[in-house]
Amino acid sequence: MWGYYVVLALRSSVRSKALTTLVIMLLAFGVSACMVSYAVFRATTSDPLPARSSHLYIPQIDNVGAAYNNEGEPIETLSYIDAMALWRARKASWLTLLYATKWQVESDNPLIPATSLGGDAVTADFFSMFDVPFRFGGGWTADDDAQRSNVAVISRHLNETLFAGQNSVGREIRLDGQLFLIGGVLEDWNPRPRFFDAGSHGTVYAFDDAGDIYIPFTRATDMKKDSTFVYCPTASRQSDTSHWDAYLHSECDRIDAWVELATPVDVDRYREYLRNYAGEQQRLGRFSWAPNIRLRNLTDWLPYWRLSPSTSTLSMLVSASFLLIVLVNVVGLMLARFMRRAPEIGIRRALGASRVTIYGQFLIEAATMGFVGGLFGVALTLLGVWGAEGLFEPNIARLVHADTSLIALTVLLAIAATVVSALYPTWRAAQTQPAWQIKIN
């Protein structure tokens, strides 16, 4: 029966070439516009660490008060005082402190010019907490943090530039004029968005590539390396390395902190610890306001921080509105297409066909057109994904890709949209009175 209805749909399409072609092309354009926007939206809002995001939390402590905080919300990063207090307390199973910075990288090879590269100063737990993959070697230990060791982990890209992709573990690299021993080389690792250091790197750069250099947090502090982005509750936001110790113990916020908490009980305990710590700072006279702390996991943090670009959300809304307009037009075309076949419907009803049968025939006919429209929509979607650089920033456009799920979803959306659009025209067609149509014809 289904095959017979498909054959009827094809015959009807041959008789109504113009209407059929118009319906198919409208669907193809509407669905493809929606799916290209969805591909961008999916790329910019996906979970960067789906296996661990629910256990990774970012602690916030308000150290600037209502006059300088974010409308009652604590600043996203921590001051050096608070960050070191959390690190020394060790109230979480895993904890890492980090901040983004830049390095002057020099090679012993005179053919490779010195260059400035971004990276992060991190503590040892960083690599395990964020499942950072290694090509050669590994990260450093907590003892290296304590001893402020000159060790470094470099990216695969930098390793290929300096050492032609060979195992460089045990070799040295010069950073800001000082020699560092390479302990590990990363595999390709580029979480999107770049969530782990967004506070110290800047949220507007959330879709930049991850850094090429990682060194111990304590060593970077000894070298007076500042973070890329600093928030100070004063007019000046620049670090003063000539008074470095005073700067470290100021209320400038510039350090990202992450903790890993396995259970809800651990979360409650750590939140209570943060509240008690802030209360202690109030009693000591450092804070003149009630404890104001937050503890959000990565899943909740991403929408709060609004790392996804507004253009992707806006384009999704615009394309969905365009698809809705397309479907309204498809309803009108379907109505004209089906009502032109009133004599055929009247004869079929007179010969014993039920209204359910008419519904089945016309909805399958609509699904067939939707399937064909979906195939054309896939072609237009692939073209749109390829041309995404013309609509979005390059660092976002390169994340957009077409996979099997996107292609399947395009076809399914086209079929579903066509069937929904055909419900009212089908209902109108099924109301045809057989006696009236026979009398007229």
SS (H, E, C) the chain: CHHHHHHHHHHHHHHCHHHHHHHHHHHHHHHHHHHHHHHHHHHHHCCCCCCCHHHEEEEEECCCCCCCCECCECCCCEEHHHHHHHHHHCCCCEEEEEEEEEEEEECCCCCCCCEEEEEEEECCCHHHHCCCCEEEECCCCHHHHHHCCCEEEECHHHHHHHHCCCCCCCCEEEECCEEEEEEEEECCCCCCCCCCCHHHHCHHHCCCCCCCEEEEHHHHHHCCCCCCCCECCCCCCCCCHHHHHHHHCCCCEEEEEEEECCCHHHHHHHHHHHHHHHHHHHHCCCCCCCCCEEEEEHHHHHHHHCCCCHHHHHHHHHHHHHHHHHHHHHHHHHHHHHHCCHHHHHHHHHCCCCHHHHHHHHHHHHHHHHHHHHHHHHHHHHHHHHCHHHCCCHHHHCCCCCCHHHHHHHHHHHHHHHHHHCHHHHHHHHCCCHHHHHHHC
Contact 237, 250 (CB under 8 A): no
Residue 236: the pLDDT is 45
Give the range among 35-39, 218-222, 325-329, 350-354 with minimum mean pLDDT. 350-354
* 93 Cβ contact partners less than 8 Å away, ≥ 6 residues apart: 260, 261, 262, 266
Residue 237: the pLDDT is 46
More confident residue, 43 or 296: 296
Please report, in angstroms and rounded to a whole number, the separation of the first and last CA atoms in the chain. Answer: 28
Looking at residues 422-436, what average pLDDT do you find?
Answer: 67
Q: pLDDT category, 174, cuts 50, 70, 90?
A: very high
Pick the most confident of 34-48, 287-301, 384-398.
Answer: 287-301
* 52 Cβ contact partners less than 8 Å away, ≥ 6 residues apart: 129, 130, 131, 260, 298
Looking at residues 422-434, what average pLDDT do you find?
Answer: 70
pLDDT at 13 over 90: no
Domain ranges of the chain: 2-47+309-440, 63-260
- Whole-number average pLDDT of the chain: 84
Pick the most confident of 59-68, 264-273, 319-328, 339-348.
Answer: 264-273
Contact 421, 324 (CB under 8 A): no
Instruction: Give the torsion sign (CA, 280, 283, 284, 288).
Output: positive
Taking only the tens place, the pLDDT of each residue in 71-117 is 889 999 999 999 999 999 999 989 999 999 999 998 877 788 889 99
Tokens of 167: 């195992």
% of residues, the chain, pLDDT over 70? 82
Pick the most confident of 42-46, 206-210, 260-264, 371-375.
Answer: 260-264
Tokens of 341: 């076949």
pLDDT at 304 over 70: yes
**Closest CA relative to residue 376, chosen from 405, 411, 404:** 411
Q: pLDDT category, 362, cuts 50, 70, 90?
A: confident
Looking at residues 9-20, what average pLDDT do you find?
Answer: 64
Residue 171: the pLDDT is 93
* 15 Cβ contact partners less than 8 Å away, ≥ 6 residues apart: none
What is the C-alpha separation between 225 and 213, in angstroms, rounded? 13
Give the range among 286-295, 330-339, 378-387 with minimum mean pLDDT. 330-339
pLDDT at 355 over 70: no
Taking only the tens place, the pLDDT of each residue in 138-154 is 999 999 999 999 999 99
More confident residue, 358 or 94: 94
pLDDT at 300 over 50: yes
What is the C-alpha separation between 71 and 298, in angstroms, rounded? 21
Residue 131: the pLDDT is 93
Looking at residues 342-361, what average pLDDT do you find?
Answer: 62
Tell me the sheet residues that pair with 184.
137, 153
387 burial type by CB count under 10 A (0-12 exposed, 13-18 middle, 19+ buried)? exposed
Pick the most confident of 123-132, 312-321, 373-382.
Answer: 123-132
% of residues, the chain, pLDDT over 90? 41
pLDDT at 9 over 60: no
- The 3-state secondary structure of 270-319 reads HHHHHHHHHHHHHHCCCCCCCCCEEEEEHHHHHHHHCCCCHHHHHHHHHH
- Global pTM reads 0.76
* 265 Cβ contact partners less than 8 Å away, ≥ 6 residues apart: none
Residue 16: the pLDDT is 65
Q: pLDDT category, 392, cuts 50, 70, 90?
A: low
Count other Cβ atoms within 10 Å, centred on residue 161.
18
Instruction: Give the torsion sign (CA, 389, 392, 396, 399).
Output: negative
* 137 Cβ contact partners less than 8 Å away, ≥ 6 residues apart: 153, 167, 169, 182, 183, 184, 185
Looking at residues 170-194, what average pLDDT do you find?
Answer: 92
